[in-house]
Amino acid sequence: MTAVRRFWPLLTGIYHYDKSISTRNIGTGTIIEAPILAYLIETTQGRILYDVGCDYRKIDDPVLRDRCYGALAFPPPAMPADHRLPARLGALGLDARDIDLVFLGHLHFDHAGGLHDFAHADIHVHAAERAAAAEPGARGYFTDDFSAAYRWRLQHGDYDLVPGVTAIETPGHTAGHMSMLIELPHGAPILLCGDAADLTENLEHEIAPGLCYRDDETLALASIRALKSRACACGAILWPNHDIDFFRAHDCFPQHLA
């Protein structure tokens, strides 16, 4: 019996970048629009938040904005006030402190930047991800996003957070990337790919993300195939993480899926 009651995809920002960032060696020169998403899962055992988006303070402050985003190949994302997680939660009658557990698919800046709003919560991340984010030259990380004394709960392999919510190890994009299978009270399960698959195209054509750990796509492709196999076995719907068309087709905020 699943402990899941309700599920919300939460748009926290929008950015524009070269498509090859999502589809390895494909789409160079084509700029795409990409949502930055978090996912709220309400269960009988508490509220889980998958990812926390960017640190809006780094976008608001010109000095931080230039320091953090100046060297990137694409501009900072747009994060209107009503898209930020405190506002999204507020629209649901919740406060950041109503989140019991934050699950980070990985530690890139568009997924872990908002941790400062959730210092009270348990923070789950794969141990390999935590280690790799500290490697010299690691790409995609703003180390101060996760340098504070958070309540880290380092993980290994697949595991159940609560009945009906399963963490799935999907390395490749990063060393310790994790996806999540969510069994709703009604209807098909949802398999959140995270950045194992940015776009539907990554899944349909088995294309690795542009950025792969140590520039090796082998694990990333194996994870895409594993996600497809798992979804087929349990009848789950695969949710790519940065696909604007998929998101718009499934956005229901402030309504929920159940």
Any idea which residues carry the catalytic annotation?
110
Q: Write the single-letter amino acid at 22.
A: S
Tokens (6 digits) for 107? 């530690």
13 has which bridge partners? 36
Q: Are 139 and 109 in contact (CB under 8 A)?
A: no
The secondary structure of residue 257, as a DSSP letter, is B
d(C-alpha 131, C-alpha 156), whole Å: 12
Q: Find the radius of gyration of the CA atoms of the chain.
A: 17
Element (DSSP H or E) covering residue 131: helix 127-132
CA separation for the pair 197, 243 (Å, rounded): 9
